[in-house]
Copies of this chain bind each other. A is one copy, B any other.
Amino acid sequence: MVKYSRYRLDLAFGALAHPIRRGILARLASGETTVAELARPHKVSAPAISKHLRILEQAGLMSRRKRGRERVCRIEAERMKEAQGWIEGQRALWNRRLDALEKYLKENP
């Protein structure tokens, strides 16, 4: 039972939690391309890829636009940055605490 609407970071991290979706993002990081091209390296059906793309799109990590009968996909950098930012913030806290501890131990041998 989901009680709260799903926040942006939930969707972003959730989208990053599957190897095929990370593979798709990795491919997109080197330039936009079509759905067929994104699907090629993975051995799942076209509908499966379509679902992964929807999850990435809903998470705001990627966008699609039509080009003839193809769809061209493009990474969206902002949400990736937000996800990274969250982790970074935690690690900053954590490291600051460890530094303080280290300093304390040095000063109180």
Query: Dominant SS at the A interface?
Result: helix
Q: In the complex, what residues of B have CB within 8 A of residue A10's CB?
A: 17-19
- Contact residues, A45-75 vs B (CB, 8 A): 75
Interface bracket on A: 20 to 34
- Contact residues, A20-49 vs B (CB, 8 A): 22, 25-26, 29-31
Is A99 part of the contact surface with B, judged by Cβ < 8 Å?
no
What is the count of identical protomers in the complex? Answer: 2
Q: In the complex, what residues of B have CB within 8 A of residue A17's CB?
A: 9-11, 13-14, 17
Chain B nearest Cβ from A104, distance in angstroms = 13
Q: In the complex, what residues of B have CB within 8 A of residue A81's CB?
A: 91
Contact of A97 among B11, B19, B30, B83 (CB under 8 A): B30
Q: A10-B18, A16-B86, A84-B88 are in contact. List 20 more A-B contacts (CB 8 A).
A: A4-B19, A9-B17, A9-B19, A9-B22, A10-B19, A13-B13, A13-B16, A17-B17, A25-B90, A26-B93, A29-B91, A29-B97, A30-B93, A77-B94, A80-B90, A80-B91, A81-B91, A83-B87, A84-B84, A84-B87
